[in-house]
Amino acid sequence: MKNILATAAAIALLSGTAQAQSNVQAYGAVDIGMDYVNHSGAKNGDVVRLDSGTLYGNRLGIKGTEDMGKGLKALFDAETGFTMTTGASTQGGLLFGRQLFVGLQNPFGTLTMGRQYTLDLDLAPYHANVASRVNNFTGLSHWVDHLADRVDNSVKYQTPNLNGFTLAGQYGFGDISGNSSAKRTLNAGGNYSKGPLSLGATYLSINDIYGNRLSAVAVVDGQYAFGPATVHLAYTNTHGTAANTLCFSTCPARPNQLVRTYEVGVDYQQTTALRFYAGGAYSQLNNDLTGNAFQLNLGSYYALSKRTELYALAGYTKTTGLGGFARLMVGSPDLGPTAFASNAQGTPDKGNQQGLKIGMTHKF
């Protein structure tokens, strides 16, 4: 009887210890608001509508860690995306389209495997538009430059912070028999962050189904904090664009397309609850489509609590050349948020567009 009680007590103790060393957390974000944009859609008209996922892509996830002792931890993250206006899944309808990975962490770094974000999200997140969360509203470089893109079948390794420095590498298997370079993705980068200064740089290379380079993206960005103000600077150089990147469901891949984008922006924390943002981006396109695009973004954000925020955004985009392509900031039901409208204003080589949004984000 004593042995039975001792064994039961030991099992209970071990179960309690294992439970204490494991941590599983549900999390998510919901974002929705009212949009107005002109020169939109096939009819080049105005549109007013509800739109979701602007500041934060709507998501629901489960993540966790298990401490196995001696500095070794197991970790996982499974995250799905959806739209609040219809309830439909995003990321092509994938169950865990935002990310899904498992890995190990120890004092020498973190190794993860699965569907994962590109390294710019970890190492170079200081773009003016991306850092201030307006990239989904008017952000040409966010889409063309594969910023915060995802890599299937990928293995990622990231070093621990070494006196302010972090390095990482990512390899995406193409998963095509007989041609190891087909659909292969290579990604590497570094980050330095200490005090008010943060700098990041990454390089991303994506091959097509034949093993030829489809797109190569170099990113260099940084930020510096001056009291309540933070200045963002960024440069991206993209050689090659994927199909439909520069229009909606009608553009071929352009492996020779060059896109260079320069960004600057300023965040100002007026109070603990109130923040303002102003930023701009200038893009030059050459070798296939030739022209340029200018974007100006303004934003204000008010935190009602640690989890709930109200925001207002204003954006302006102007293009020259590009066959009349103009960035659709919020799109229309027949085009969508990442498209271009050809012949905006009915002109052959110029286009401009203005947009306004008032919205709300709740994170949990």
Q: How many residues does the chain have?
A: 364
Cβ(339)–Cβ(328) below 8 Å: yes
Task: Write the single-letter amino acid at 41.
Answer: G
Taking only the tens place, the pLDDT of each residue in 36-89 is 877 766 666 777 888 888 888 899 999 999 999 999 999 999 999 999 988 999
pLDDT above 70 covers a percentage of the chain that reads 79
pLDDT for position 215: 94
Tens digit of each residue's pLDDT (9 = 90 or more) over 183-221? 999 999 999 999 999 999 999 999 999 999 999 999 999
Per-residue pLDDT of 248-295, as tens digits, reads: 566 788 899 999 999 999 999 999 999 999 998 898 989 988 888 888
Does pLDDT of 9 surpass 80? no
Report the chain's mean pLDDT, rounded to a whole number: 83
Q: What pLDDT score does 71 carry?
A: 92
Instruction: Kindly report, residue by residue over 116-168, the tens digit of the pLDDT.
Output: 999 999 999 988 766 666 666 666 666 678 888 899 999 999 999 999 999 99
Please give the Cα distance from 95 to 275 (Å, whole number). Answer: 35
Q: What is the CATH number of domain 23-363?
A: 2.40.160.10
User: Higher pLDDT residue, 132 or 224?
Assistant: 224
Structure token digits, residue 278: 């102003």
Q: Which of 313-317, 326-330, 335-339 has the highest mean pLDDT?
A: 313-317
Domains of the chain by residue range: 23-363
Inform me whether the pLDDT recorded for 15 exceeds 50. no
Please check whether residue 116 is in contact with residue 156, taking contact to mean a CB–CB distance below 8 angstroms: yes
Cα separation, 83 vs 215, whole angstroms? 28
Rg of the chain (C-alpha set): 23
List strand residue ranges (DSSP E) for the chain, in order.
22-40, 45-52, 59-67, 73-81, 99-106, 109-117, 150-158, 165-172, 185-194, 197-207, 213-226, 229-241, 254-269, 274-286, 291-303, 308-321, 326-327, 340-341, 350-363
Query: Model confidence at 109, in pLDDT bands (50, 70, 90)?
Result: very high
Which secondary structure element, helix H or strand E, spans residue 329, and what is its range? none
**b/e map 40-64, b = 16+ CB within 10 Å:** bbeebeebeeebbbbbbbbbbbebe
Q: Per-residue pLDDT tens for 351-364?
A: 777 888 899 999 99
Report if pTM > 0.75. Answer: yes
Share of the chain above pLDDT 90, in %: 56
Query: Can you give the pLDDT at residue 245?
Result: 73
